[in-house]
Chain A
């Protein structure tokens, strides 16, 4: 009789401890679900950020390609009479003025290198809207508010 009662008591105790463990396990599983949810949310944020960064890089590359295209065009510009600009010929005829122009361009090139390295744009550069105000060497970098006309 006593043995039976003792066995029953032991069984009940055992069930209680099992129940406690199961409760704890359940709480842990809930935590795990929350954590997984947080991980998924973070991953979604990361994907969004990666897409934004890729878009920014693509935009930068487009601007840079345009600047290179501009450099190509500068030397091969075709005038109204259909002749291709020949800087050699221009320099032969007007060495002084071409020298002046190229010296100015050299200064602009130097400034473009500074901007490329992360130098902030000056007020003048930001406000440049006229052809005479822009940095002709890297307009896309130096004068974001300039619209070609």
Chain B
């Protein structure tokens, strides 16, 4: 009777000794965010603008010449002081473009180091040749 009790107990001990609880494995795999891949816009070429200097002395001559060339004899002008401001504003705008571009390129360089930044748009650009000044 005692053997009947001991045998199952021993069997249970032996089985539980061999059995092992499997460890739970949690796999974490980093998935990179899809790169935005935006290209910088191609270089914009500005149109050639003809500057006319008009004074009280040459105004008649200038307007006559404009009529001769079938240009409406109208001038949208600046005073010398304002022309100075326009020139400085140009520099400010240009500087701002350079700064923004430098920041964009720095971000690209930092977050997408293996990608060459917009080399395509850089290399395909040919600087525009303007005509000689027309008098």
A→B interface (CB under 8 Å): 2-3, 6-7, 9-10, 12-14, 17, 21, 24, 46, 49-50, 53, 56-57, 60-61, 64, 67-68, 71-72, 74-75, 86-88, 91-92, 95-96, 98-100, 102-107, 109-114, 116-120, 122, 137-138, 141
B25 → A minimal CB distance (Å): 10
* A69 (CB) vs chain B CBs: closest residue: B91
Contact across chains for B127 and A118 when beta carbons are under 8 A apart: no
Q: Which residues on A sit within 8 Å (CB–CB) of B27?
A: none
Q: Which residues on A sit within 8 Å (CB–CB) of B95?
A: 64, 67-68, 116
Number of A-B contacts (CB under 8 A): 146
Q: A3-B9, A10-B13, A110-B45 are in contact. List 13 more A-B contacts (CB 8 A).
A: A6-B13, A7-B13, A12-B17, A71-B87, A88-B81, A99-B52, A102-B51, A110-B128, A112-B94, A114-B44, A117-B43, A118-B40, A118-B122
Which secondary structure characterizes the binding site on chain B? Answer: helix
Contact across chains for A102 and B49 when beta carbons are under 8 A apart: no
Contact across chains for B127 and A114 when beta carbons are under 8 A apart: yes
A109 → B minimal CB distance (Å): 6
- B58: CB under 8 A from chain A? yes
Interface range on chain B: under 10, 10 to 19, 20 to 34, or 35 or more? 35 or more
B→A interface (CB under 8 Å): 6, 9-10, 13-14, 16-18, 20, 23, 40-41, 43-46, 48-55, 57-58, 79-81, 83-84, 87-88, 90-92, 94-95, 97-99, 101-103, 106, 109-110, 118, 121-123, 125, 127-128, 130, 133, 135
Q: For the complex, give the distance between the alpha carbons of A112 and B98 in Å.
A: 10
* A89 (CB) vs chain B CBs: closest residue: B80
* B44 (CB) vs chain A CBs: closest residue: A117
Q: For the complex, give the distance between the alpha carbons of A141 and B98 in Å.
A: 9
Contact across chains for B43 and A122 when beta carbons are under 8 A apart: no
A sample of 28 inter-chain contacts (CB < 8 A) reads A9-B13, A10-B17, A13-B17, A14-B17, A21-B23, A50-B110, A56-B102, A61-B99, A67-B91, A68-B88, A86-B80, A88-B79, A91-B55, A106-B51, A109-B87, A109-B94, A111-B127, A113-B97, A116-B95, A116-B98, A117-B41, A117-B43, A117-B44, A118-B121, A119-B43, A119-B125, A138-B94, A141-B98
